Structure 1
Amino acid sequence: MTTTHLAAEAVQNDPVLNIAIFGAFVAVTLFIVIRASRNNKTAADYYAAGRSFSGTQNGFAIAGDYLSAASFLGICGAIALNGYDGFLYSIGFLVAWLVALLLVAEMMRNTGKFTMADVLSFRLKQRPVRMAAALTTLAVCFFYLLAQMSGAGGLVSLLLGIDDRIGQSLVIAIVGVLMIVYVLIGGMKGTTWVQIVKAVLLIAGALAMTLWVLALHGFSLNTLLESAVDNSPSGEKILGPGLQYGANPLDFLSLGMALVLGTAGLPHVLMRFYTVPTAKEARRSVVWAIWLIGGFYLLTLVLGYGAGALVGPERIAAAPGGVNSAAPLLAQALGGPLLMGFISAVAFATILAVVAGLTITAAASFAHDIYSNVIKRGKDGTGTADPNGEVKVARRTVIVIGVLAIIGGIGAQGQNIAFLVALAFAIAASANLPTILYSLFWKRFNTRGAVWSMYGGLLAAIGLIVISPVFSGNDKAMIPGIDIAIFPLNNPGIVSIPLGFLLGWIGTITAKTAESRALAAEMEVRSLTGFGAEKAVDH
């Protein structure tokens, strides 16, 4: 495959063509968003798309939300550079999705209204639980946004041939502005349609590239792997475990816990289930999502090793965007600037759709949970928030979140986005998952347990990240100029996730006051049957 590799080196980027493809995609999706926004009249329209999507449509939208830039750019690069250890991300994300479906997805949909906090506060005290749930939601969304914005900077910089930090920072700012426009105009309905279009394009593009890579290797996976081994400085080590995590198996275990358990606590994925009208359609969307997501993660194995074989790990690591440039460079090696432009536009669609979904989730959490149900409801205990006022607050929150995402994305440039997403998963699994499971399955669970679990898991996860090698102490850290790394692992999950569960249990058994048994019974019936799921969560 040496000749093919040399051919890939010789292909030159065409910024004009890339900008044209990029601009065409933005124009088409903006048109879709504007069309979809015509019926955004109520809070239900803005947050949950009026619950107007079918199970099939929502299945594609869930796949679009879940198959983020980490799934396409980060994992392909991780496999190209680290082989087997990189593919563990694909396995972890897929198993995580199945765990989320089996444990929480339908029950959350039956019990909630717009946000995760609706479920967690259903039978507990509204103000403290909603505030804690909103803060954990905002934290998860922020870390996830860091990953997507970082990927956007690297991707568009590769497209346009920008390799300096200032130029990449400008690209991230432009992506952030576009994201704000999409969410302000389209709400959940517009965002969902962008997710559907993006899912179709992403899966179709990945499938076409996979078949192309296999065709070049005689449709033999063994031949492809041999080519990847020949082109890798690590040789046959990329086919076995340990290249990335062999020195510290605990780091791998911590990563695995975060990936497998984190999805069930991701608020932007769980919020997708509120866009369908019935529990039956929610189940149908689950089936579609399983097939789409599962099929895509199988494709990443071929794409990752294909990038290693046809492009080479060293060239990938040296490109603008680093490890995240593997998929676009593979497209360039296969089909030249035209295919690279198309795949990069699809990857950009992936980033834009996911950041839009994250942003509207975070905005809904602040406006619906903090503004409407804590600030306004707290005045007289009955709820005085105007739905139109709530949506206005959500729109303003979108702007604030967009600005913060731009700043954070500039600071996180060069990080592997699959790795950054794993940190978001760790926070979700530590702060959200224990409270979700306890709320759904433990009748004795109470407000103190929920608050201790969420705040404790959140502070533990973020605190351990700050004192880990991810944050400081080495050239690849977020802040390489300082060294406060005293926690030896790159992912905090192995400590923070059990701590979140432990704090929820201790908080519950030490509380002297019991919660309403009637509300606990109502929640159990609603979560299992869907009865009353369309009613507002007001008590």
Structure 2
Amino acid sequence: MIRAATTRIAAPAAALASMAGALVPASAYAAAVEGAVTKQATNWSAIIMFMIFVLLTLGITFWAARRTKSAKDFYAAGGGITGFQNGLAIAGDYMSAASFLGIAGLVYANGFDGLIFSVGWLVGWPIILFLIAERLRNLGKYTFADVASYRFQQTPIRTLSACGSLATVTFYLIAQMVGAGKLIQLLFGLDYLVAVIIVGVLMIGYVTFGGMLATTWVQIIKAVMLLSGASFMAFMILAKFGFSPEAMFKAAVDIHPKGLAIMSPGALISDPVSAISLGMALMFGTAGLPHILMRFFTVADAKEARKSVFYATGFIGYFYILTFIIGFGAILMILAPDATGAYPFLTAAPAAGAKAVIANVIGGTNMAAIHTAHAVGGDLFYGFISAVAFATILAVVAGLTLAGASAVSHDLYASVFAKGRVNEADEIRVSKITTVVIGVLSIVLGIAFENQNVAFMVGLAFVIAASANFPILLMSMFWNKMTTRGAVIGGTLGLVSAVSMLVLGPTVWKAVLGNPAALFPYDNPGLFSITIAFVGIWFFSITDNSAQAEKERKDFEAQYIRSQTGLGAEGASAH
């Protein structure tokens, strides 16, 4: 499949469109894929600001390395992160360049309907808050596989959970690395190869030496930078319209080629099955992402875990409101002439009396937010936002790498192969070796996929998380009749069906592999693969009458008490 994936990404923005819109029909991004990659003049202000960020975070990594002694320090920052700090770090881990540039680009091109991703990604957080966070912290230690395998046979459950985690992390990482290379090629004027290597080396350094503590602070700093920059942009845009959203929307409608249609839904996805399927994949995928779930073990107890989600939901929700304003601001900054009558951010000015063409934005529609930053803040702010975009990718890949390394060292090496008979020093050593391997592999894959369509990879990451990870995690915590056999077969069915339907769907079978028609009609298989996973877990659990299954059902009561009270949880007490 990889050899055959020869569809070219012809603009840096396409990589970001891939990340933000992996589950949307390819036709929605036609505008973003037009044009050739052009190396820009070196953006020294952006490079200097990014170097300041790197030096600061490397200093933090050195500080964190001196405090990272045990496995708990490496995997969970010693459990010493506060709820507020962890909320910021979760937001930093979750708010990717796709969220910032991709959603703003979607709003710029489609108006109101571009919010479908904001809504999908955001509504996953109440699920985490009310159903998962507290129980996860009370039952687990370092990874979500600790929870999924709590009362079941360790080897099959941990192996499946680790495979789901590694698959999610790998596909996510490839898209992030390609996005980093393309973004920096456009914004900084650096070569693609140099950009990918820089991200990979820094990522390895943060995780190998500083572990979760360094990764956490990288994500916190990045979140503060991103929220500050986006807030300033939104403030400056609204200030131009007397802080009246109504005036801003009216001006956008007047100038946008689609007119009043930008205030109505249905521009991106009009098919209800696809809309529901996309929503389920984004919502449940969020609750199954291993690098997000891992963050709940960095706090002291379940109370702080709840606070983490509360703060993270607030920060992320606020950020998505800002991207909405920035997207509409981009319409007004890019499609309208400046004071001299010129169109500085378009490849071609519109004919006299005609409206500007959306797709003519320099670098593709997903560069809309960057151009808007230039329009409202000049060269210096443009450099800052460019540096923030790079820092954003760096923080996300650090979290992904740590999650992948933990799946190998804690779930596979320590729990499956060594059967728990392993000392912490060996486990940390395996994790650090795995970090280097994942880092090198991500650099190689990032280079290999430079000119290939990576849209299906983030689609696959979210669908796998929603179809394989989330059902097992949720059912293990809430359903007393679930058994090892049900979890393994149901989770495997979810994993296989998600991959199969995505490959056979329009995103890969038609757009990537070049076949005339897709064998599976929908871009978004989430509705089907998630249902298959839950039904599989239910059916193969209730038909399991083995002695082992009866024991697992009886053990649910003890698990339930611990999940509710925290009694027996590491570093926690009843509350």
TM-score above 0.5, yes or no: yes
Aligned-pair distance for 1:426?
A: 1.9
Aligned-pair distance for 1:462?
A: 1.5
2:282 matched to 1:259? yes
Task: State how far apart, in whole Å, the 2-side matches of 1:414 and 1:225 are.
Answer: 37
Amino acid at match of 1:353: A
In the alignment, what sits opposite 2:330? 307
Deviations 1:66-112 (A, max 9, x none): 22222212211121112222111111111111122111111111100
2:537 matched to 1:504? yes
Amino acid at match of 1:289: A
Task: State how far apart, in whole Å, the 1-side matches of 2:453 and 2:220 are.
Answer: 25
Q: Please give the secondary structure, in 2, of the residue aligned with 1:110.
A: helix
In the alignment, what sits opposite 2:210? 186
Task: State how far apart, in whole Å, the 1-side matches of 2:242 and 2:435 are.
Answer: 49
In the alignment, what sits opposite 1:380? none
User: What's the C-alpha RMSD, in Å, of the aligned pairs?
Assistant: 2.4
12-21 vs 183-192, which moves further? 12-21
Task: State how far apart, in whole Å, the 2-side matches of 1:326 and 1:388 are.
Answer: 48
In the alignment, what sits opposite 2:235? 211
In the alignment, what sits opposite 2:44? 16
Q: For residues 82 and 410 of structure 1, do their structure 2 counterparts lie closer, same or farther at Cα, with a shift above 3 Å needed?
A: farther
Q: For residues 396 and 230 of structure 1, do their structure 2 counterparts lie closer, same or farther at Cα, with a shift above 3 Å needed?
A: farther
Counting matched residue pairs gives 511
In the alignment, what sits opposite 1:237? 261
Aligned equivalent of 1:298, options 311, 317, 321: 321
2:284 and 2:466 in contact (8 A); partners too: yes
Aligned equivalent of 1:171, options 195, 201, 210: 195
In the alignment, what sits opposite 1:3? none
464-473 vs 309-318, which moves further? 309-318
In the alignment, what sits opposite 1:331? 373
Aligned-pair distance for 1:473?
A: 2.6
Q: Please give the secondary structure, in 2, of the residue aligned with 1:471.
A: helix
**Identity of counterpart residues, as a percentage?**
50
2:564 matched to 1:525? no
Q: For residues 448 and 458 of structure 1, do their structure 2 counterparts lie closer, same or farther at Cα, with a shift above 3 Å needed?
A: same
Q: Please give the secondary structure, in 2, of the residue aligned with 1:445.
A: coil
Q: For residues 473 and 314 of structure 1, do their structure 2 counterparts lie closer, same or farther at Cα, with a shift above 3 Å needed?
A: farther
Aligned equivalent of 1:96, options 114, 124, 127: 124
27-36 vs 321-330, which moves further? 321-330
Aligned equivalent of 2:429, options 381, 392, 403: 392
- Superposition TM-score, scaled by structure 1 size: 0.89
Aligned-pair distance for 1:320?
A: 7.3
Q: For residues 447 and 321 of structure 1, do their structure 2 counterparts lie closer, same or farther at Cα, with a shift above 3 Å needed?
A: farther
Aligned-pair distance for 1:517?
A: 4.4
Q: Give unpaired runs (5+ residues) of structure 1.
A: 1-11, 378-382
Amino acid at match of 1:533: A
Amino acid at match of 1:45: D
In the alignment, what sits opposite 1:353? 395
2:92 and 2:396 in contact (8 A); partners too: yes
Q: Give unpaired runs (5+ residues) of structure 2.
A: 1-39, 336-344, 348-357
Deviations 1:417-460 (A, max 9, x none): 99864542222111111111110111110001111122111111
In the alignment, what sits opposite 1:197? 221
Task: State how far apart, in whole Å, the 2-side matches of 1:146 and 1:319 are.
Answer: 26
1:69 and 1:417 in contact (8 A); partners too: no
Q: Please give the secondary structure, in 1, of the residue aligned with 2:151.
A: coil
Deviations 1:1-21 (A, max 9, x none): xxxxxxxxxxx9662222212
Task: State how far apart, in whole Å, the 2-side matches of 1:96 and 1:406 are.
Answer: 30
Q: Please give the secondary structure, in 1, of the residue aligned with 2:418.
A: helix
Task: State how far apart, in whole Å, the 2-side matches of 1:231 and 1:153 are.
Answer: 33
In the alignment, what sits opposite 1:40? 68
1:201 and 1:346 in contact (8 A); partners too: yes
Q: Please give the secondary structure, in 2, of the residue aligned with 1:195.
A: helix
Task: State how far apart, in whole Å, the 1-side matches of 2:502 and 2:361 are.
Answer: 27
Aligned-pair distance for 1:205?
A: 1.0
Task: State how far apart, in whole Å, the 1-side matches of 2:163 and 2:287 are.
Answer: 17
In the alignment, what sits opposite 1:8? none
Aligned-pair distance for 1:408?
A: 4.2
354-363 vs 310-319, which moves further? 310-319
Amino acid at match of 2:520: F
Q: For residues 204 and 417 of structure 1, do their structure 2 counterparts lie closer, same or farther at Cα, with a shift above 3 Å needed?
A: farther
Deviations 1:50-73 (A, max 9, x none): 111111111111111122222212
Q: For residues 320 and 122 of structure 1, do their structure 2 counterparts lie closer, same or farther at Cα, with a shift above 3 Å needed?
A: farther
| Structure-to-structure mapping, 1:103-122, within 5 angstroms | 103-122=131-150
Q: Please give the secondary structure, in 2, of the residue aligned with 1:265.
A: coil
1:148 and 1:417 in contact (8 A); partners too: no
